[in-house]
Structure 1
Amino acid sequence: MMWTDIKGGRNQLRVTESNDKGIITEIKINNQIPFTSGFSVEQKYADSVQVVWFVIEKLRWYPWEKYTVSCLAE
């Protein structure tokens, strides 16, 4: 799924994996480095379900990575 935000940034949500235990997505916001997010669902007991939401994002470590991204965002 693709959409444009109020400032004209292009965003994308893509399901990369799904099964009976949950889904994994790749999210790209404003054409920046994508990150992974998803939900997993497990029935812990007969009368309850546990839903876990997770986000995996690659952090920028080197100064030139931080500087390049901040310049592109403006």
Structure 2
Amino acid sequence: MQINMYEAKTKLSQLAERAWAGEKVIIAKNGKPYLELRPYIAPQGQRKPGRLAGKIQMSADFDETPGEVIEAFEEGA
């Protein structure tokens, strides 16, 4: 939806609800698109290496691939 700046001032709460619901809201100035109103999404925090240390277990034979699996890949199965 596109709405002019003056009307947007009077209906800001309604427009915010529509934007939050997923509708694209464009505010126009002199009949031309000027702003896009969209919900705020908080940035995610920085990743912390090692935060899952000790919580993930690898099988003892993780690096060993059975012969039939290798053959299946080589045959294009």
TM-score range, shorter chain: under 0.3
TM-score, with normalisation over the residues of structure 1? 0.25
Structure that is richer in helix per residue: 2
Higher Cα radius of gyration: 2
Structure that is richer in strand per residue: 1
